[in-house]
Every structure is written in C-alpha cells, then in structure tokens.
Structure 1
Amino acid sequence: MQEQVRVLVVDDQRPFRVAASAVIARMPGWSVVGVAETGEEAVSVASGLVPDLVLMDFNLPGIDGVEAAARVAASVPGVRTVLCSTYRREDIPGADKVAAYLNKEELGRAALQTLWQEIRPAA
C-alpha cells in the first residue's frame, strides 16, 4: 500500500503556492490539503487539517516561518515542517528547529521525496 502524505503549503507569494501545489499534485500518494499565506493562518489551518507535512516559507507577514513551525508543532503532534526559502539555511535564525530545509530553487518531486524519507515519522 502506498504511503499517503498530506501537505499544507504556506507562502505569501501566490505563484510559489501554485507551483508547489502543482509539484505535489503530480506525486503519487501526495496531496495538498490546504494553503496559507501567513504564519498565523498556517497555525490556524494546520490544527484543523492535521497535515503530515508543512512546506513553510521563512519570510512571511506577521510571524516568520520558524515561529509558525513551532506553533504548528505544538498544536499538531507528529507534523513535520520543511522550511522552504531563497535564503541559505545558515542565514535563517532558528532554522535548526524545523525538520528540514529546502531552497525554493530545488523544489521538485525528487527533493521532496528524499526529504520525506529522511524526516517522516517512524511507522
């Protein structure tokens, strides 16, 4: 049986939300269960949707992606967050607090599948 991965995409830029959603839609077993534009919205939406994975931008209006990831983790046990940004991971304060980091330019099926294999909860 194929693993199902429910994804919440969080980014303040619509073109990136659309692009990330399109990549995920073409991945067998993966689905976008929701999108959010701000960190606060991500926290609210995640608690209702209970995604497996949150693809989270760092630079968001209001709270940043690292703070939003911490709040999502507190409200949705087991969720994994991948910080997705154009910044280098070492330039993002607190980036070590999320499960993984992916540069937006590297977003693709293979990169997401590899990251998920590394960070998914044990069965």
Structure 2
Amino acid sequence: MIRVLIVDDQHLVRAGLRMLCESTDDIEVIGEATGGAEAVRLAAGLAPDVVIMDLRMPGVDGVVATTRILTERPSTRVVVLTTFDDDDHLYPALAAGACGFLAKDVAPETLVDAIRRAADGDSPFSTPVLRRLVAQAVGARQDEPANPGPDLTGRERTVLALLAEGLSNAEIAARLHIGVTTVKTHVAGLMTKTGCPNRVRLAVFAARNGLA
C-alpha cells in the first residue's frame, strides 16, 4: 500500500485528490495538510511514501516545505502538483528535491500513475514540462564543448532516448517488447554510468549529448 500525504490550501482540491486516491486499491491517504508548516510536521509523524505538494500556499510554501521534509526524511518522494508549471516554479521545486512535477490539469489516471511511479523510484513529469527541460538542454548544448559521454550500449542508448521523450518504464518496456524489470535495470545502469541521480537529469544529459 502506498501511503500518501496531500498538501494543498484549498479544501476542494484536497477532497478531490483524496477521492481519487481512495478509488484505487493500492493508494492510502494517511493525512492532509493545508500549508507547508503542517506538511513538515505531518510528514515527520506519519512517514508517508509520497507527498503530493502544492507550491503556492500562505506561510511556508511548497518549496520550503519540500526542502524541510526531505532533510528530515530523504527517502520520501515529493511530487509537485501545481497550477503554475512555469520555470520560476519548476526549477526551485527541483532544487528542493521534488522527484516529480505535474500541472493540475493532468488527467486523473495520469496523477494516479504518477503516484505509483514516484513510490517505485521513478520521476513523473508532465510531458510538456519534461520536453521543455530537454529543449532548453538542447539549446544550452550549442554553447558547450562536445562531450562524448560514457560508453553506452545500443540498448542503453535506445532506452535513454525513449526516457528523454517522457516515456515511463512501462511504456518503454511495451515499446521495446521487454520486461519492466529489464528497463529498470537499464535505467539504473544509465544513472551509474552518467552520474545522473534521476530521470530528469538523464533526459537533460541525453539532450546535451545528442542522444535524445
């Protein structure tokens, strides 16, 4: 069972997220917080697997709350769910340690999948956000010296390219007709070879090195 803490200052949003989570068999809402300070306190006491974090809240905002939660509990997975998916909100959230970033207009099934992916160690991002990160990395590559990168196998390069498109492990497995466990092994190997700590960094790495 995936234990989830919902953080949002709007009651209607929290109620909707709770109903969505409780419609599944494997996600349990263990608490709700109306602000960042309460989120930090509840995360310390309830030990959630995944925190669904709003960014703009009165008092302690979502970025500060994410930093404090992950300082106390580094294993917690924080997925940002926000109305504002611009760079001014994205990059501070990533710097704070959020493992995922979704806009509030995503489909319900996408959010449920994101919670499961986050709990499984994945990094769920709205496809437009990830593509924007990759596009920016491609632009930055024009001003950087060529980097041959690590010695990757053909399969690793294929997995990396699909990952950079925003595909999940399950989608990559289906595309390549291999098992999800095999994809996870390839992704873990890519992280080790490239020194990238998460999928977003891998996607950016792929773009900067002409592998996307």
Question: Which residue in 1 is equivalent to 2:109?
Answer: 109
What TM-score, normalized to structure 2? 0.52
- Where does structure 1 differ by over 4 angstroms across 4 or more consecutive aligned residues? none
SS, match of residue 106 in structure 1:
coil
Greater Cα radius of gyration, structure 1 or 2 = 2
Instruction: Specify whether residues 37 and 27 from structure 1 end up closer, same or farther in structure 2 by C-alpha distance, changes over 3 A only.
Output: same
Once the two structures are superposed, the pairs formed by residues 1-123 of structure 1 within 5 Å of their partners are 4-92=1-89, 93-97=91-95, 98-106=98-106, 108-114=108-114, 116-117=116-117, 120-121=120-121
d(CA) in 2 for partners of 1:10, 1:71? 14
Question: Is 1:8–1:33's contact at 8 Å kept on the other side of the alignment?
Answer: yes
The percent identity for this pair of structures is 32
Give the Å deviation of 1:63: 1.5
SS of 2:105's partner is: helix
Contact residue 89 and residue 95 of structure 1 kept, 8 A:
no
Higher RCO, 1 or 2 (CA under 8 Å, sep at least 6)? 1
Contact preservation (8 Å) 1:6, 1:52: yes
Cα RMSD (Å) of the superposition?
1.8
Following the alignment from structure 2 to structure 1, what is the Cα–Cα distance between the partners of residues 118 and 2?
14
**Structure 1 residue 89: deviation in Å?**
4.3
Contact 2:55 2:61 in 1 (8 A): yes
List alignment gaps of at least 5 residues for structure 2: 123-212
The answer on whether the counterparts of 1:6 and 1:53 sit within 8 Å (CA) in structure 2 is: yes
Q: Are the aligned partners of 2:36 and 2:62 in contact in 1 as well (CA < 8 Å)?
A: yes
Counterparts of 1:99 and 1:60, CA distance in 2? 20
Deviation at 1:95, TM superposition (A): 2.0
Give 5+ residue unaligned stretches, structure 1. none
Flag the 1:5–1:89 CA change in 2: closer, same or farther, 3 A. farther
Higher helix share: 2
